[in-house]
Amino acid sequence: MQTSELVVSSRANARVKQLRAAFQGHARLSGGMVAIEGDHLLEEALRSGMVLKSVFVSEQRAVPGIVPRGVEVLRLTEEVFGSVVETQSPQGVAALMVPPVRTLADVFEGSGAALILITVGLQDPGNLGTLVRSAEAFGASGVLTTPGTVSAWNQKALRASVGSVFRVPVVGVTAGEVAELKGRGVRLIAAVGADDFGVVAAQEMDFTAACAVMIGNEGSGLAAEWMEMCDARVTIPCPGPVESLNAAVAGSLLLYEASRQRSG
């Protein structure tokens, strides 16, 4: 087990400031690092092959035995540790990690027909994290995020993904790159409301060929420019008196239906 003799008691410590910047999403000030907190995310990160830069533990707890030898370990006073992390009841362990660099090539790396989720202007980090988790659960090839979508490394998104973001390729793309997916034989499918013109119920849509499901902004849905490039429109029939489903719920249900069809 690693130990650190020095207990950092200053909020102005360089590493503490770097960790704080990472938690706040300041890429430049954090040196491009991503912050993670808690035993579970630490375990998931290491299990997924992520590279740790530094590990921080509060003064009263032991250094987790899973921390690899050679990784810098800093012990912080309870007050300093609590001032940096964002959760109400911190577990006493956090880390700086090197985020993986993903590209479209990673999304098309696997064999078989690609199943891609595209989030268009999704702003709720909890929704994005949940969708990344569902993408892994239902065998999606990857998640593409368009400009205006919250970062998958946002703390709430990271926690909502429960570690799936370490393994699922999440790639930022432009509208042009989404349109170019057609050249790869990918069918673009827009998730819309049931009253839209030409809409097909989820169970009647063919998800077995290479396809990308597009989920729009929580409030405004998919803008005209995105709808125009789509090949089909799909909806989830709801017998109950609701106008629409939460973006994460809708995307998860469509991924499940795609997985069901493909397994059949």
125-154 confidence digits (pLDDT tens): 999 999 999 999 999 999 999 999 999 999
Answer whether residue 189 shows pLDDT above 80. Answer: yes
114 touches 144 (CB < 8 A): no
Q: Is 104's pLDDT higher than 80?
A: yes
- pLDDT greater than 60 at residue 38: yes
In this prediction, residue 60 has a pLDDT band, given cuts at 50, 70 and 90, of: confident
- Does residue 3 register a pLDDT over 50? no
pTM listed for this prediction: 0.92
Look at residue 220 in the predicted model and tell me its pLDDT: 84
- pLDDT, the chain, mean: 93
Q: Which domains does the chain have, with CATH numbers?
A: 7-98 (3.30.1330.30), 104-263 (3.40.1280.10)
pLDDT of residue 1: 43
Q: What is the mean pLDDT of residues 113-134?
A: 97
